């Protein structure tokens, strides 16, 4: 892949099938989606962005508090924070993972938050069971700290993370 500058832009309807493919190729790090659920998430999101580097290679979706979203991890933050931005999902094609695009996308979200005067924690979760040590290391390296853990059944546990600056 050449060194073309990545482009970050809003998700468009023509992106949905590729976003769905990227999302579902990253299960279990992300929850599986249907096209209908993806439409719902984008419709109710605060930010719904894609990253292009010649082609669409990644995406992210964030939510503000009080969105009509039933994710138990999102609801955990709703119960504990009056204001926050919740990064529900971020994913890239396997060929572009580890190229710094995730860091770039997080910086873009934080810039959008500053421009909108959203001086709130940016929150997310990372799987502990099944383990996702690469994601945990990445989030710690860009300033996220663990603010809690949530267990769901015997096989699923997450670290709940927040970044305040």
30: CATH: 3.40.630.30
**The two three-digit tokens of residue 159, written as one number:** 């670290």
Note whether residue 136 is domain-resident. Answer: no
Residue labelled with tokens 């572009």: 96
Cβ–Cβ under 8 Å, residues 45 and 63: yes
The pLDDT score that the predictor gives to residue 25 is: 95
Does 127 reside within a domain? Answer: no
> What integer is the mean pLDDT of 72-96?
95
| Owning domain of residue 103 | 7-119
41 inside domain = yes
Confidence of residue 98 (pLDDT cuts 50, 70, 90): confident
**Is 140 a domain residue?**
no
pLDDT of residue 3: 66
Q: Which long-range contacts (CB under 8 A, 24 or more apart) does 116-121 make?
A: 118/83, 118/85, 120/81, 120/83, 120/84, 120/85, 121/81, 121/84, 121/85, 121/162, 121/163, 121/164
Cβ–Cβ under 8 Å, residues 65 and 83: yes
* Amino acid 1: pLDDT: 45
CB 56 within 8 A of CB 15: yes
Looking at the structure of the chain, the number of domains it has is: 1
Whether residue 145 is contained in a domain is answered as no
Comparing 4 with 72, which gets the higher pLDDT? 72
In which band, very low, low, confident or very high, does the pLDDT at 156 lie, cut at 50, 70 and 90?
Answer: confident
Query: Is there a domain that residue 13 lies in?
Result: yes
How far apart (Å, rounded) are the C-alpha atoms in residues 33 and 19? 10
């Amino acid at each position: 892949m050449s060194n073309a500058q990545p482009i970050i832009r809003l998700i468009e309807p023509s992106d949905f099938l590729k976003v769905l493919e990227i999302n579902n190729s990253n299960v279990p790090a992300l929850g599986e989606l249907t096209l209908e659920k993806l439409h719902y998430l984008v419709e109710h999101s605060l930010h719904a962005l894609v990253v292009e580097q010649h082609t669409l290679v990644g995406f992210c979706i964030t939510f503000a508090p009080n969105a009509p979203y039933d994710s138990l991890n999102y609801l955990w933050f709703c119960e504990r924070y009056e204001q926050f931005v919740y990064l529900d999902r971020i994913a890239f094609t396997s060929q572009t993972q580890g190229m710094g695009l995730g860091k770039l996308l997080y910086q873009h979200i934080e810039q959008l938050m500053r421009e909108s005067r959203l001086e709130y924690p940016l929150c997310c979760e990372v799987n502990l069971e099944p383990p996702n040590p690469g994601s945990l290391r990445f989030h710690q390296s860009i300033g996220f700290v663990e603010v809690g853990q949530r267990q769901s059944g015997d096989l699923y546990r997450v670290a709940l993370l927040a970044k305040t600056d």
